[in-house]
Amino acid sequence: MTVTPAIRRRAVQAARGELPFDLLLTETRVVDMATGEIRHADVGIVDALIASVHPRGARSDARETHALNGAYLSPGLMDTHVHLESSHLPPARYAEIVLAQGTTAVFWDPHELANVLGVPGVRYAIDASRNLPLQVMVAAPSSVPSTPGLEMSGADFAGEEMSTLLAWPEVRGVAEVMDMHGVLHGSDRMLEILQAGLESGKLIEGHARGLSGADLQAYLAAGVTSDHELTSAQDALEKLRAGLTLEIRGSHPYLLPDIVAALKTLPHLSSQITVCTDDVPPDILLEKGGIVALLNLLIEHGLPATDALRFATLNASLRLQRPDLGLIAAGRRADLVVFDSLEKLRARRVYVAGKMIADNGALLAPVADDGAVQAPRNTLQLPPLRDDDFAMRIGAIRHGTARLRHIRGARFTQWGEVDVEIRDGKVQVPDGFSLIWVQHRHGRHAAEPQIALLEGWGELRGAIATSYSHDAHNLVVLGRDARQMALAANQLIASGGGMALAQHGRITAHVAMPIAGMLSDLPAPELARQFRELRERSGDIADWEPPYRVFKAIEGTCLACNAGPHLTDLGLTDGSTRRIVDPVIHCRETPADTQHNKTTGEPDNGRQYR
Share of the chain above pLDDT 70, in %: 95
> Which pLDDT tens digit goes with each residue over 297-327?
999 999 999 999 999 999 999 999 999 999 9
Residue at 376: amino acid letter: P
| Averaged pLDDT, 478-492 | 97
- Say which range, 509-513, 523-527, 562-566, has the weakest mean pLDDT: 562-566
Share of the chain above pLDDT 90, in %: 87
Beta bridge partners of 137: 107
> Which pLDDT tens digit goes with each residue over 32-59?
999 999 999 999 999 999 999 999 999 9
pLDDT at 454 over 60: yes
pLDDT at 593 over 90: no
Q: Are 97 and 524 in contact (CB under 8 A)?
A: yes
Confidence of residue 597 (pLDDT cuts 50, 70, 90): very low
CA atoms within 13 A on the CB side of 79: 36
Secondary structure (DSSP) of 303-353: --HHHHHHHTTHHHHHHTT-TTSSS-STTSB--EEEES-SSS--EEEEEET
| Averaged pLDDT, 189-206 | 97
Residue with the larger pLDDT of the pair 438 and 542: 438
* 3-state SS, residue 356: strand
**List of domains in the chain:** 76-321 (3.20.20.140), 387-589 (no CATH)
> Which pLDDT tens digit goes with each residue over 377-418?
999 989 999 999 999 999 999 999 999 999 998 767 999 999
- Say which range, 145-149, 424-428, 448-452, has the weakest mean pLDDT: 145-149
**pLDDT at position 19:** 98
Mean pLDDT for the chain? 93
Backbone torsion region of residue 115, taken as left when φ is above 0, otherwise alpha when ψ lies between -120 and 50, otherwise beta: alpha
| Averaged pLDDT, 235-246 | 98
The whole-angstrom separation of Cα 543 and Cα 41 is 54
